[in-house]
Amino acid sequence: SKIPAYMASTDKAPAQARNLPWVEKYRPQTLDDLISHKDILSTIQRFISEDKLPHLLFYGPPGTGKTSTILACARQLYKEKEFNSMVLELNASDDRGIGVVRGPILSFASTRTIFKKGFKLVILDEADAMTQDAQNALRRVIEKFTENTRFCMICNYLSKIIPALQSRCTRFRFGPLSPDQMIPRLEYVIQQESIDITPDGMKAIVTLSSGDMRRSLNILQSTSMAYGKVTEETVYTCTGHPLRSDIANILDWSLNKEFTAAYNQILQLKTLKGLALHDILTEIHLLIHRGIRCLEHLFFGLINGMSPLRHRLASGTNEKIQLSSMVAAFQGVRDLVVSEAS
């Protein structure tokens, strides 16, 4: 399952690269290729150049460059032919129990290096999946082999790592990427792949990926493969996200049709396009916040009506029942506004 990172480099394997998912094809190869987290990168660069690399703990949401950063560090530290003997990379697909600590990790750390200078690197990706026992066993291993081995733990949730391990590491938080950081990288890929994209298509990708670079690249690739041109409409359709026109229709039906017709039409659209009620409600919320002036009155009531609905939906109630209460809530507000207006 572990492809050495340098194999993903485009110049080494052009034929293979064409079939690679773009998240791998455009995985940053060096620390300089990484966008964002400049302070983290410069700190790590300094550690490396002063030969004082501590144990590391990277944490933060998905797709923000944690795995890419440590792989780029490793490539900077080791030559290609020493990579396999000096770097042990474990991720969630490997066993995460105490056995892996006593077995592979211990034997890797305790084997003498043939290269006299420098230390070995153990990368524990997705370390939040490690059991408590394994984490406890790791404390001792880290201490015992600090002289010739550095550990880098990577996780999404810091709270899943026991305090004793946290205190042995220098922590770095990888926050979500801002649109300003994502857009230039996306534009680079767009140019490399000669993609036809509209400005609103770009905006849609950035909005839907909320700071997750992996997600943005995946949306870009799947949309352009499925539809050719990347527009707001194709992005939303490709991700199964309701389009603005779908939301407009849903509102229109809810407000202007009688209950059964509104319910059935929404259900049909939902099924046809594979939309989730949760996304519909989120979009309606956004629409409300974008503030369509003339409907301000009406929407204010809807927010109040929908919050308990979203809450109940999140706790896993039947979507059909929830849909019927959504339509009822809409029509209740409509009647209120109509009666007030007349």
Chain positions contacting Mg ion, by CB under 5 A: 67
**Nearest distance from residue 47's CB to ligand ATP, in Å?**
18
Q: Which stretch binds ligand ATP (CB under 6 A): 30-38, 45-53, 243-251, 257-265?
A: 30-38
179 binds, among Mg ion, ligand ATP, none (CB under 5 to 8 A by kind): none
**Nearest distance from residue 30's CB to Mg ion, in Å?**
17
Look at residues 98, 95, 104, 105 and name the one whose alpha carbon lies nearest to residue 145.
Answer: 105
Between CA 67 and CA 74, with CA 73 as vertex, the angle to 5 degrees is 90
| Residue 72 · residue 29 · CB < 8 Å | yes
- Any contact of residue 65 with ligand ATP (CB under 6 A)? yes
Residue placing its CB nearer to ligand ATP in the complex, 62 or 118: 62
Q: How many CB atoms lie within 10 A of CB 224?
A: 23
Q: Strand ranges (DSSP E) for the chain? A: 56-59, 87-90, 120-124, 149-155, 170-173
**Nearest distance from residue 91's CB to ligand ATP, in Å?**
8
Burial (0-12, 13-18, 19+ Cβ within 10 Å), 40: buried
Using CB under 6 A as the binding rule, the residues of this chain from 300 to 329 that contact ligand ATP are none
CA 92 to CA 94: how far, in whole Å? Answer: 5
- Any contact of residue 113 with ligand ATP (CB under 6 A)? no
Return the residue of 150, 185, 241, 270 that touches ligand ATP, per CB under 6 A: 185
Report the DSSP beta bridge partners of residue 152. Answer: 56, 123
Look at residues 245, 323, 247 and name the one whose alpha carbon lies nearest to residue 280.
Answer: 247
**Nearest distance from residue 102's CB to Mg ion, in Å?**
25
Q: Per-residue x/- marks for ligand ATP, 199-218, CB under 6 A?
A: --------------xx--x-
Residue placing its CB nearer to Mg ion in the complex, 67 or 221: 67
Q: Which stretch binds ligand ATP (CB under 6 A): 66-74, 79-87, 157-165, 267-275?
A: 66-74
- Any contact of residue 63 with ligand ATP (CB under 6 A)? yes
| Residue 167 · residue 138 · CB < 8 Å | no
How remote is the C-alpha of 59 from its chain's centroid? Answer: 13
65 binds, among Mg ion, ligand ATP, none (CB under 5 to 8 A by kind): ligand ATP
Look at residues 259, 250, 256, 261 and name the one whose alpha carbon lies nearest to residue 284.
Answer: 250
Return the residue of 28, 179, 301, 332 that touches ligand ATP, per CB under 6 A: 28
**Nearest distance from residue 228's CB to Mg ion, in Å?**
31
Number of residues interacting with ligand ATP: please give it, by CB under 6 A.
21
Q: Return the residue nearest Mg ion (CB atom).
A: 67
- Any contact of residue 29 with ligand ATP (CB under 6 A)? no
As given in the structure block, the two tokens for residue 126 are 């997705």
DSSP structural state of residue 332: H
- Any contact of residue 36 with ligand ATP (CB under 6 A)? yes
CA 342 to CA 339: how far, in whole Å? Answer: 5
- Any contact of residue 34 with ligand ATP (CB under 6 A)? yes
Look at residues 191, 181, 149, 184 and name the one whose alpha carbon lies nearest to residue 168.
Answer: 149
Residue placing its CB nearer to ligand ATP in the complex, 127 or 243: 127
Q: Per-residue x/- marks for ligand ATP, 222-241, CB under 6 A?
A: --------------------
**Strand 170-173, strand 56-59: pairing:** parallel
- Any contact of residue 176 with ligand ATP (CB under 6 A)? no
Q: Would residue 79 be called left, alpha or beta, if left means φ above 0 and alpha means ψ between -120 and 50 degrees?
A: beta
Return the residue of 31, 40, 56, 64 that touches ligand ATP, per CB under 6 A: 64
Q: Catalog residues that contact ligand ATP under the rule CB under 6 A.
A: 23-24, 26-28, 34-36, 62-68, 156, 174, 185, 213-214, 217
